[in-house]
Structure 1
Amino acid sequence: MGTIIELGHGVRAAVTERAGGVSAPPYDSLNLGLGSGDEREAVLANRETAARRLGFGLDRVVWMDQVHSADVLVAAGPGAVGSCDGVVTTRSDLVLASMAADCLPVLAADAEAGVLGAAHSGRRGTAAGVAANLVRTMVAQGADTDRITVLLGPAICGKCYEVPERVRDETARRTPEAACVTRRGTPGVDMLAAVTAQLRRAGVTAVTADGRCTAESPELFSHRRGAPTGRFASFVWRD
């Protein structure tokens, strides 16, 4: 299921893993992604299982319709918040979710101000700066960059994320840290390095990372390693 991480002052985060659900191959088994091609009933059962094991009600969760954008919305209630790749809330009862299978989850909190944020930073979202937009939206809701703590979830690493040279250069246009070389000596994108740099430029210094590469970690879903596949979720919430 994954470990619950304390972000301080009653804020918790967690990343789910593949095991412990009811989905059949190739989505086996704790697939939480409704858009993955899996059976809807299995995904909903998996979501219920994940929420119960992590200690919150499924009816508290805010889900994004992730579209690889830099758009960030403010959630006023649980359920589907709309098409976006970042979500912020000031409600203490809501749980924010970010889905991934290689993209980088971003979980953020200013516990003192009571502002939470979550983002899905894929290659296009990284190029467009969704993480920085998440920080700006949190500040607009009362957060302070000096107090924001960020956990970056698992994502495909730069050594594994091979892309055409044109795509690498496009991704690195605004964030040079995105450009890298894969272990095969080919052009790559390092989303972890890029998003870390974006957050620091936005004024956030308290940034930690899960560090696992999805393509190299069999306990996690990875689209690059084997599509079609399921999705894991990264959650942030307040007790």
Structure 2
Amino acid sequence: MTKNADWSFFRVAELEEKGIVHGFCTGGTPWDLLSSKIKHDFLDAFLLKDAVVLTQEHGSDVHVVCNGEMPHSGDGLIILEKNVAGIIKTADCLPVILCDALYPMVSIVHAGWRGTVKNIVGKAVLSMVEYGSRTQNIVALLGPSIGSCCYEVKEDVCAVFKKCGFPEHIFLRHSNALFLDLKKANEWVLSGYGINEVYNVNLCTQCNGTLFHSYRRGDTGKRQINFVSIKG
């Protein structure tokens, strides 16, 4: 874990060295970037000129940030401008960062079960390719989320995934209960697009109450922020 000013976060050092500024923050750090002071402090700490914070909808809309455009709602961002951070807030859902350090280009998405089944990660990959990236150059980072140890779901959720072609192994059954592995589901999606270099912050937000907020644990009004930017 790394600390910068008020922000404690997990990152991949090798990508930071390639100019990909990123982090999966812990629950003990400021997260409300709609506050002008918190946003100012965040930009100052990470030497950024701006940050895009979406009103998240548990959907699959992925927006491109370039030429000063600032989308307002959706669940995914493609960042083409340097020193502009894409921000995703989570409290059990899976934050996914995609980066092509050669282009350079980055993406960040909010992948809850609804976004996952709607293929938001795949749509982000296709958007990156549309703007000039190559899948063999894309690296994926999976941040902290609720794990299969805790993510109990109903049979109707399982049925939706199966209808969309997801494999059985993303679900675990024990003690007459059904559990979803969001990370395995999105790893399966990524592999289908030829992306096999995947870093995984293998921490469960519900289990690790000292590190993270968790919606299922009762932290309904609090979030972690997750961010990515291209260093200018």
Q: How would you bin the TM-score normalised by the shorter chain?
A: 0.7 to 0.9
The one-character-per-residue Cα deviations of 1:130-181 (angstroms, maximum 9, x if unpaired) are 0011000000011100000111111101121111111122134322257412
Structure 2 spans left out of the alignment, 5+ residues: 1-7
The one-letter amino acid paired with 2:75 is D
Moved runs in structure 1, 4+ residues, more than 6 A? Answer: none
Between 108-117 and 131-140, the greater mean CA deviation after superposition: 108-117
- Once the two structures are TM-superposed, the CA of residue 208 in structure 1 deviates from its matched residue by 0.9
Q: Is the contact made by 2:24 and 2:226 (CA closer than 8 Å) also made in structure 1? A: yes
Matched residues, number: 220
Contact 1:103 1:156 in 2 (8 A): yes
Please say if 1:232 is aligned against 2:224: yes
Aligned equivalents of 2:102, 2:91: Cα separation in 1: 31
The percent of aligned pairs where both chains have the same amino acid is 26
> Deviations for 1:80-112, whole angstroms, at most 9, x for unmatched residues?
513211110221221111110000001111111
AA partner of residue 101 (structure 1): A
Query: 1:117 pairs with 107, 112, 117, which one?
Result: 107
Change (3 A) 1:227 1:100: same
Question: Which residue, 192, 217, 224 being the options, matches 2:183?
Answer: 192
Distance 2:19 2:206 in 1: 32
Partners of 2:148 and 2:174 in 1: CA distance: 9
1:127 and 2:136 correspond: no
Q: Partner of 1:27 in structure 2?
A: none
Secondary structure, counterpart of 1:204 in structure 2: coil
The alignment's TM-score, normalised by the length of structure 1, stands at 0.83
The aligned residue for residue 141 of structure 2 is: 151
Q: How far, CA to CA, are the matches of 2:142 and 2:168 in structure 1?
A: 16
Structure 1 residues 4 and 50: alpha-carbon distance in aligned structure 2, compared to 1, 3 A threshold:
farther
Residue 59 of structure 2, aligned match among 65, 69, 91: 69
CA RMSD after TM alignment? 2.1
11-20 or 71-80, larger mean C-alpha shift: 71-80
